[in-house]
Structure 1
Amino acid sequence: MIDRQLLPRIEHLLSQSPAVALLGPRQVGKTTLAQALGARHSPSVMLDLERDSDRAAIAQPELFLPQHRQALVVLDEVQLVPDLFRALRPEIDADRRPGRFLLLGSASGDLLRQSSESLAGRVAYAELTPLLASEVVSDLTSLQALWLRGGYPLSHLASSDEASFEWRQNFVHTFLQQDLPSMGVRVPAETLRRFWVMLAHLQGQLFNASQLAQALGGIAHTTIARYLDTLVDALVVRRLEPHWVNVGKRLVKSPKVYVRDSGLVHALLGLATVRDLQGHPVAGASWEGFVVEQVAAALPAGAQLSFYRTAAGAELDLVVELGTRKFGIEIKFSAAPKPTKGFWQALSDLKIERAWVVAPVERRYPLAPGVEVVPVQALQGLAEQLQSGG
């Protein structure tokens, strides 16, 4: 099993809260991680709520749950049984011991809504992402493999690039045909597939609902916004909001949108190998989205992530806010990155404390006072340094 960097945080949350909700897309490794946690917390009991037998076991939660008050109870795909949240509340109130429940969910919108309504003040949240560079990358070759195949464990660990590509194609099909309908999504699978492919082509660009609506046959732009919400809630697309600040300049107001896993970007566009990817127009944007996910996963709880762009050309790929402190991250798909004039202007506009240029390089080096070039796999260390006040 690959050591997941989220494990210590989940352990910490379990030591503080009666319930922890672990969010993450399908096939990202939540169940494997939960099994590892269960082995550390004896006794434990795990129920997969997609199985009829496990749903039958907990059909009477007021009888089942008190029998397991001394165990860590893991409920997988808990959003599929929304009535269960109402039963968890009185059970937690009867025994508020930390570490009683680990709730796994693949639909963040449903799970957050259901749990916040029923378990306010009783549940903590964490998100498991696809595999990160800090978990599996040792050199530029392994970095390239992670970027190409993406971070879904079965895709990353496949025997060949071809096997990985086939797994991802099957994942897309199953996700659209089975997983989303099981979450209550009633949009035709082929419509959502076309929309998802369009987002892959527009990776990292500003979201224009009206433009996409016309491309999909003239449907309402509000329907396009609903499609986006569906994929964001399912944790396969990221909507990155612009940074709002009073700098006396015209700011871009539309969000940027990314397919969150680079391997899925490549599968949606039919790019199976590094040769297919080299020179393709999406390569730079795919790399940008890949790094955005690495940064987001490395940040401590409470950190805010946005991007900055003005009509005059000042631009910063990521603005990280930790309390009152602001840091900048620029993403370059180059072994010798050179930020543009707009980057330096953005640092000045926002009074950025420190900035990093993330690129496919082997070692970090200074670029200017307060600005450093760093490899992707160093992001976790940088986040820990910032959190400690460094």
Structure 2
Amino acid sequence: MFLFLFQKKRTHSSFSILEKFFQEYLIYGGYPDIVLQTSIELKQQILKNLVNTYLLKEIKDILAYKNIFEYESLLRRLALQDGGIMNKSAISRDLGIYNNKIAEMIHVLEKTYILTSIQPFFTNKIKEQIKSPKVYFHDLGFKNALINNFNTLEMRSDKGEIYENFIVNMLIRKNKNIHFWNIQNRYEIDFVYQEGGEIFGIEVKSQLQNNKIPQSVKMFIDKIRPQNIQIFNQNIDDV
């Protein structure tokens, strides 16, 4: 079993330029019309227009769902808990939307490449289908526009979730069949996938305290015995 630690280092003079584009991508997403704009104000305006026309109108029309308030409330709830375990019963109770309608809306949002959901990892495949998934946005710009938060990452309380969402999108592009690992909501590994009969894990940390291996990683190694586990750490100054 191998454990890899990935962290960003300032190793080249071009780092600041790449970092700028990367940070903008995490806030405004990857739609070309938005990426090519140099004005932050224009980026925000185009993104908001895209959300209003495509996400809040066209996809709502596909759903044939007449209650726009409930639809928008669900989208914003998912944006706020991006990367969290989705509890449909709690969402139903809080927003007053029936469980079957929530499931229908999420299904359409997945088919239209707005959302992606991943199931928990179990060796028992039946359990995977009955447990609550985690939901992520394919484009981080949509997430940020829905909650109207375009602050830089240094000012964000959801910085870790944003990095996590970025990694899950990269894994999807590599055609990985990804899951997450969770024990009683105490120990969690962000992403788990199998390849060649072996199990691999990925943990994303915006900061790695005292350069120590997280307890969840130790528990995952002890319980699952993966081929390797990678820790992606974004704390470039302290490690």
Fold shared per TM-score above 0.5:
yes
Cα shift at 1:360: 2.9
- Structure 1 counterpart SS, 2:63: coil
Change (3 A) 1:338 1:230: farther
Letter in 2 for 1:280: R
Change (3 A) 1:273 1:157: farther
Does the alignment pair 1:269 with 2:147? yes
Q: Deviations over 1:201-258 (max 9, x none)?
A: 1111111111111222x23112111121121111111111100126xxxxx9311111
Residue in structure 2 matching 1:331, options 204, 209, 218: 204
Q: Deviations over 1:142-184 (max 9, x none)?
A: 22121111112222222222211111111111113542256x3
Q: TM-score, normalised by structure 1?
A: 0.51
Does the alignment pair 1:179 with 2:58? yes
Residue in structure 1 matching 2:220, options 346, 355, 366: 346
Are the equivalent residues in 1 in contact too, given 2:85–2:134 (CA < 8 A)? yes
The CA distance in 2 between the partners of 1:148 and 1:335, in whole Å, is: 22
- Structure 2 counterpart SS, 1:222: helix
The CA distance in 2 between the partners of 1:308 and 1:358, in whole Å, is: 16
Are the equivalent residues in 2 in contact too, given 1:161–1:273 (CA < 8 A)? no
Letter in 2 for 1:314: Y
Q: 2:160 is matched with which residue?
A: 284
What is the 5 A alignment of 1:223-238? 223-238=101-116
Q: 2:178 is matched with which residue?
A: 305
Does the alignment pair 1:207 with 2:83? no
The CA distance in 2 between the partners of 1:344 and 1:138, in whole Å, is: 36
Are the equivalent residues in 1 in contact too, given 2:56–2:72 (CA < 8 A)? no
What is the 5 A alignment of 1:218-257? 218-245=96-123, 253-257=131-135
Q: 1:93 is matched with which residue?
A: none
Are the equivalent residues in 2 in contact too, given 1:176–1:192 (CA < 8 A)? no
Change (3 A) 1:138 1:330: farther
Does the alignment pair 1:150 with 2:26? no
Letter in 2 for 1:154: D
Worse overlay, 199-208 or 220-229: 220-229
The CA distance in 1 between the partners of 2:234 and 2:36, in whole Å, is: 21
Relative CO higher for 1 or 2, CA cutoff 8 Å, sep ≥ 6?
A: 2
The CA distance in 1 between the partners of 2:89 and 2:185, in whole Å, is: 24
Are the equivalent residues in 2 in contact too, given 1:146–1:156 (CA < 8 A)? yes
Runs of 4+ in structure 1 deviating by more than 4 angstroms, as ranges, are 335-338
Work out which of the two has the higher radius of gyration on C-alpha atoms and give 1 or 2.
1
Letter in 1 for 2:219: Q
- Structure 2 counterpart SS, 1:158: coil
Does the alignment pair 1:319 with 2:192? yes
The CA distance in 1 between the partners of 2:186 and 2:208, in whole Å, is: 24
Identical pairs, percent: 24
The CA distance in 2 between the partners of 1:335 and 1:154, in whole Å, is: 35
Cα shift at 1:330: 0.6
> Aligned pairs, how many?
215
Are the equivalent residues in 2 in contact too, given 1:318–1:330 (CA < 8 A)? yes
